[in-house]
Amino acid sequence: MIEFDEEPPRRHFETLVPLINVVFLLLIFFLLAGTMTPAENVAVSLPEGTLNDREQDVPTTLIVEADGFVWLGERVMDAKLSGAMVEKHLK
């Protein structure tokens, strides 16, 4: 008589695949079927401040070197960027 091999044992995670499919289908169903309400307006109180709230004016040192580097206080920058940075800092 012919002997057939037994069916190989199934792995445990194979039984979870249909469950995962059902969960995703339910998720899609509730996302599409649910009604979404618009968000309510929330009153926000903005902080108040002044435009010039510096404690005191600090003198700024500007050093331009012969090779094109510019020192603005403790920061060094390239000459290409220095024009806009100096204007922004001195306003």
Structural domains in the chain (count): 1
The pTM (predicted TM-score) of the whole model is 0.29
DSSP string covering the chain: -PPPPPPPPPPGGGGTHHHHHHHHHHHHHHHHHSPPPPPPP---PPP---S---SSPPP--EEE-TTS-EEETTEEE-HHHHHHHHHHHH-
Q: Residue 64 falls within a domain, yes or no?
A: yes
Q: Residue 46 falls within a domain, yes or no?
A: no
- Output the CA angle 42-43-48, nearest 5 degrees: 140
The residue range of the domain holding 90 is 60-91
| pLDDT tens for each residue of 41-65 | 889 898 887 766 565 666 778 787 7
| pLDDT tens for each residue of 13-37 | 677 888 999 999 999 998 888 877 7
